[in-house]
Amino acid sequence: MDFQYKNVLIAIDGSEPSEKAFDRAVHIAKRDKSQLILAHIVDTQNFSIIKSYLDNLNDVYKQAEIDAHKMLDKYAQIAKEAGVSEVKEIVKFGLPKNVLIDEIIPEQNVDVIILGATGTSAVERVFLGSVTDSAFRHSKCEVLVVR
């Protein structure tokens, strides 16, 4: 029996584990001739702290979005050079684990989400639970965790 994924999602946060997961996602998307969806969620849970020090929080949002698109553009180029024909980039704001599970996966009809074993925030893993753990427990699609 031959199975192919149609929509492969990789959540990219700039960490080493997400780099490893990206490599696996590119391999799978190329193998299956599937769409590769690159997602970055700007974590806004600490923006309320920043707000008290800034006159205009919109500037922080704008810069975060610009930086996220630059990062995803770089990964999209790498994926295309590796032979992935269809690459989509998504930037959203919010709590990453919620945005992935509640918004991106259903909106994009994701077959598999590929995540690194750990992300950038050890404190979040202790107090809130990691994005990977949340995806593993609550996702409606398959979850591949790369170490």
Residue with tokens 């998307």: 29
- Interatomic CA distance for residues 108 and 8, integer angstroms: 9
Q: How many CA atoms lie within 13 A of 10 on its CB side?
A: 30
Q: Domains plus CATH for the chain?
A: 12-146 (3.40.50.620)
Judging by beta carbons within 10 Å of its beta carbon (0-12, 13-18, 19+), is residue 7 exposed, middle or buried?
buried
User: What confidence category does residue 128 fall into, taking pLDDT thresholds of 50, 70 and 90?
Assistant: very low
When the pLDDT of each residue in the chain is averaged and rounded to a whole number, the result is 87
Residue with tokens 């020090």: 53
- Interatomic CA distance for residues 67 and 59, integer angstroms: 12
Assigned token pair, 127: 């107090």
Looking at residue 133, its pLDDT comes to 76
pLDDT at 126 over 80: no
Assigned token pair, 61: 């949002």
Q: When comparing pLDDT for 143 and 76, which is higher? A: 76
Residue 104 DSSP label = I
pTM of this prediction exceeds 0.85 = yes
Tell me the CA end-to-end span of the chain in Å, nearest whole number: 27
